[in-house]
C-alpha cells in the first residue's frame, strides 16, 4: 500500500463524509508531501481533541514510510 492510499484509508475511517476526501501526493528529492482535503464539517474529527487524531495519522504514515525505506513524509490537512 502506498502512502497516499494509507492516508486516504485512515482519514476516510474518521470522517462522516468519506466521499468528500481528496488526497494528492507531491514528491520531492528529500520530502514526500501528502495534501488532504476534507469537508469543513469533518475538519474537527480529523484533527481530534488537542490534535491527537492528526498526530496519530502522521505518526502511522511516517513509520510506514521509514519501514519501506522511503523519505520523510509531511501530511497537510485542509478543508473546503
Rounded CA separation 7/2 (Å): 9
pLDDT at residue 20, rounded to an integer = 95
pLDDT tens profile 13-45? 999 999 999 999 999 989 999 999 999 999 999
Extents of the domains making up the chain: 3-79
pLDDT at residue 34, rounded to an integer = 97
Sheet of 72-79, strand order: 22-27, 31-38, 72-79
For the domain bounded by 3-79, which CATH number is listed?
A: 3.30.300.20
pLDDT at residue 80, rounded to an integer = 87
pLDDT tens profile 48-80? 999 999 999 999 999 999 998 888 999 999 998
Amino acid at each position: 500500500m502506498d502512502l497516499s492510499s494509507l492516508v486516504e484509508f485512515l482519514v476516510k475511517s474518521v470522517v462522516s463524509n468519506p466521499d468528500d476526501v481528496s488526497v494528492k501526493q507531491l514528491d520531492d528529492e528529500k520530502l514526500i508531501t501528502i495534501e488532504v482535503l476534507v469537508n469543513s464539517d469533518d475538519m474537527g474529527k480529523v484533527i481530534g481533541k488537542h490534535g491527537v487524531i492528526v498526530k496519530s495519522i502522521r505518526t502511522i504514515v511516517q513509520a510506514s514510510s521509514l519501514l519501506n525505506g522511503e523519505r520523510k513524509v509531511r501530511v497537510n490537512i485542509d478543508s473546503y
